[in-house]
Amino acid sequence: MPMLVRKTLREYRRALIGWTIGICTFIGLYVSFFPQMRDNPDFYSQAALAKYPEGVRKLMGGLENFTSGAGFLQAVVYQLFVPLLFIMCAVILGNKAIAAPEESGTLELTVTLPVDRKRLVLERFAALAAGLLAVAVVSLTVLTVLAAAVDMDVPFGRILAAHIALYLLVLFFGTLALTVGAATGNKGLAMGVAGAYAVAGYVFTALSRDSQVMDVLSRLTPFHYYSEGNPLVNGLPVGDCLVLLAGTAVLALTAVLSFDRRDVGV
Amino acid sequence: MPCMTAVVQTEGLTKFYGKRRGLEDLTLEIRPGEVFGYLGPNGAGKTTTIRLLLDVIRPTRGVARLFGADPRDAAVRGRVGYLPGELALEGREKASEYLAYLAGVRGGIGKGMIETLAERLEVDLSVRMGRLSKGNKQKVGLIQAFMHEPDLLILDEPTSGLDPLVQQEFLAMVREARTAGRTVLMSSHVLAEVEHVSNRVGIVRRGRLVAVEDIAALREKAVRKVELHFDAPVPEEAFRDLPGVRDLKIEGAALSCTIDGRPDALIKAAARFTVVHLVSAEPDLEEIFLTYYSEDVHHAHVGA
């Protein structure tokens, strides 16, 4: 493994472990509710309808038929909370790639090493992708085991498909933070841009069925390509995944080119 | 091996941060095997120059070359050891792990180099970097700059935060580097820190290089306070109007004065009497140095 990738992963290690535990704990808590819901479908459907006003239900993906295995997984794992947590993790790690060390001053010595700047960014990006992949693999494993334990009756292939889409979504936002950081060196800006885009993207997509405008806007956000294909039901949406990957590739390229051109630490 | 082209060469090197001038029109050559002291007050442009040389920042105009090549070339930076002026080391990583990583990126270093340097500078590398004191961070910074025995050392304020004994050890390391034929560029805001190891000094002020001087030549111009004690009172006429002697004061058997440059005339005059005690303070290069700051005139031997 290249030196810088290894070094970056070492820097990520504690955060990765922490976020993995957090995300898996969250998944574990919610999946453990599933047997109760399955056994009292009417009660919980009514409760959900009563508890959340329509607007909130829409934001949470509709909460339709969430007493079935796939519906439940979609609602509690893939719709909102896990992507949200995982995106926060990715944005924080993406920021640690360039902007955070630049603001703390440790990047100065790094750029004077006999490493090309382009390679520096690429290796940091590779470490980000690998670190997030590790979180994805562990959480996928935990989810698969728990889903089997509570007889959720969702085939592994479908969970895998949903998790692949999730990983690509999260990688996109992590790369976005890395890229804004690489282009500007500003940690707060990188965090703000990635966070605002994630929130706006999520809202546009959740409300896209309501209005033409939202539908058009949602196509400009990664959430559209993440949720449109409904991988838990239909399997891997290859085209949508390629859109997410292409977006990430464009961002990574932008990061490489812009970091190569600018002053560091001024 | 040092080559005969200049190790550091800049032509019209200029850096503006927006409208603020960081450095303007720096033309300078540092030759192989030379120790060059780069002096100026804080904010004068020393760090800007050094960052330009290492491709941390990019010039607005002009060129910087290391070993005749563009510092953007990663291989060229491999021949340089760099100590940043504001060295940031942080995190839970141990200093030894960080140094091992840097050594790895540099393609490996001589066996035992890190340990030897750590022993010389008396620093414990098993400490987490975030917990190192300022002085110990500086030592770790020096180790990483010296450990791969680079052809060129660029050290920004290397002695800041070091206690006097460690400063001496550091200066010994610089002398050894010079003896081994390496080239050193070190900045400081105090001449006293660099005068004993430098061959030449450059003085930068408000973003401009105002002088480049040989240390030996500077010492010739230096102001020196001298006291002589004789076995009997001496006549003032014997010392009046000696070339280079100023502020002459004679009180009985004691004489005190300041000397510009060589003390030769004073010594010859004093030789006619019996000298029982002689005190000569170190030449105060600082004083000359300060005259550069107080005058706006260009003392140009620039690029000499």
CATH number of the domain residue B89 falls in: 3.40.50.300
On chain A, the residues whose CB falls within 8 A of the CB of B99 are none
Is residue B288 a part of any domain in this protein? no
Tell whether B205 and B243 lie within a shared domain.
no
Pick among A98, A103, A113 to test the B interface (most B CBs inside 10 A): A113
Q: Do B106 and A108 touch (CB under 8 A)?
A: no
Residues B277-284 have a mean pLDDT of 80
The answer to whether the CB of A150 falls within 8 A of the CB of A32 is yes
CB B58 within 8 A of CB A265: no
Q: Are residues B84 and B194 in the same domain?
A: yes
**Closest alpha carbon to A142 in A73, A89, A80:** A73
B197, B216, B235 — which closes off a domain? B216
Query: Would you give the DSSP letter of residue B212?
Result: E
Q: Confirm if A221 and A197 have CB atoms less than 8 A apart.
A: yes
Mean pLDDT of B161-171: 93
> Residues B164, B231: one domain?
no
The predicted pLDDT at position B185 comes to 98
Q: Do A95 and A187 form a contact (C-beta atoms < 8 A)?
A: yes
Two structure tokens written together for A218: 């949602």
pLDDT, average across residues B158-175: 93
Mean of the per-residue pLDDT values for chain B?
90
Where does a domain end: B174, B200, B216? Answer: B216
Q: Is there a single domain that holds both residue B28 and residue B91?
A: yes
Asked if B257 and B116 sit in the same domain, the reply is no
Is residue B61 one of the residues assigned to a domain?
Answer: yes
Q: Determine the 3-state secondary structure of A98 from DSSP.
A: coil
Tell me whether residue B293 is in a domain. Answer: no
Q: Are A262 and B90 a contacting pair at CB < 8 A?
A: no
Look at residues B201, B211, B209 and name the one whose alpha carbon lies nearest to residue B299: B211
Residue A253 tokens, joined: 């390229």
Category of A264 on φ-ψ map: left (φ > 0), alpha (ψ -120 to 50) or beta: beta
Determine whether the interchain pair B93/A10 forms a contact, defined as Cβ–Cβ distance below 8 Å. Answer: yes
pLDDT score, position B165: 92
Rounded distance between C-alpha atoms, residue A52 and residue A45, angstroms: 11
> Residue B297 pLDDT > 50, yes or no?
no
Q: What is the pLDDT of residue A206?
A: 86
How many distinct structural domains can be found in chain B? Answer: 2
Is residue B301 pLDDT above 60, yes or no?
no
Q: Percent of chain A having pLDDT more than 90?
A: 70
Asked if the model's pLDDT at residue B303 lies above 60, the reply is no
Given this model, what pLDDT does residue B217 score?
A: 80
User: Based on the domain organization, do B149 and B228 belong to the same domain?
Assistant: no
Does any CB of chain B come closer than 8 Å to the CB of residue A11? yes
Give the CATH number for residue B251.
3.30.70
Domain residue ranges in chain A: 3-261
pLDDT at B304 over 60: no
Instruction: Express each pLDDT in B50-100 by its tens digit.
Output: 999 999 999 999 999 999 999 999 999 999 999 999 999 998 899 999 999
Q: What is the pLDDT of residue A148?
A: 93
Is B45 contained in some domain? yes
The pLDDT of B291-300, averaged and rounded, is 52
B49 and B141, same domain (yes or no)? yes
Task: Judge whether B258 lies within some domain.
Answer: yes
Domain that residue B265 falls in: 223-282
pLDDT of residue A215: 86
Q: Say what the pLDDT of residue B195 is.
A: 84
Q: Is residue B248 part of a domain?
A: yes
- How many angstroms separate the CA of residue B265 from the nearest CA in chain A? 52
Give me the pLDDT at residue B298, please. Answer: 45
Q: What is the pLDDT at residue B77?
A: 97
Mean pLDDT computed over B160-174: 93
CA distance A55 to A72: 19
With bands split at pLDDT 50, 70 and 90, how would you rate the model's confidence at B44? very high
List pLDDT tens digits, range A106-144.
Answer: 999 999 999 999 999 999 999 999 999 999 999 999 999
pLDDT at A61: 65
- A114 and B74: CB-CB below 8 Å? yes
Residues B55, B181 share a domain = yes
Task: Report if residue B2 sits inside a domain.
Answer: no
Q: Do B101 and A3 touch (CB under 8 A)?
A: yes
Residues B141 and B229 in one domain: no
Contacts of A3 in chain B (CB under 8 A): 101, 104-105
Alpha-carbon distances, residue B66 vs A113, A160, A163, B5, B183 (angstroms):
14, 53, 50, 9, 11
Q: Is the pLDDT of residue B5 over 80?
A: yes
The per-residue pLDDT of chain A, averaged, comes to 91
Query: Which is nearest to B37 in space by CA: B165, B146, B149, B158?
Result: B158
Region for B142 from its dihedrals, namely left if φ exceeds 0, alpha if ψ lies in -120 to 50, beta otherwise: alpha
In a domain, B228, yes or no: yes
Residues B236 and B258 in one domain: yes
Same domain, B129 and B256: no
State the average pLDDT over residues A197-224. 89
User: Which one of B181, B199, B216 terminates a domain?
Assistant: B216
Integer Cα distance of B219 and B288 in angstroms? 9
Is residue B220 pLDDT above 50, yes or no?
Answer: yes
Query: Which region among A50-59, A143-152, A184-193, B251-260 has the lowest average model confidence (pLDDT)?
Result: A50-59
| pLDDT at position B283 | 66
Probe site for chain B from A108, A258, A264 (most B CB atoms < 10 A): A108
**CA-based nearest residue in chain A for residue B59:** A263
d(CA A83, CA A203): 13
Q: What is the pLDDT of residues A43-82, one digit of tens each?
A: 777 777 677 777 677 766 666 667 788 888 988 899 888 9
Residues 87-126 of A with CB under 8 A from B: 104-106, 108-109, 111-116
User: Do B24 and B172 have their domain in common?
Assistant: yes
Q: Assess contact for B198 and B185: CB atoms under 8 A.
A: no
Residues contacting B133, CB < 8 A, separation 6+: none
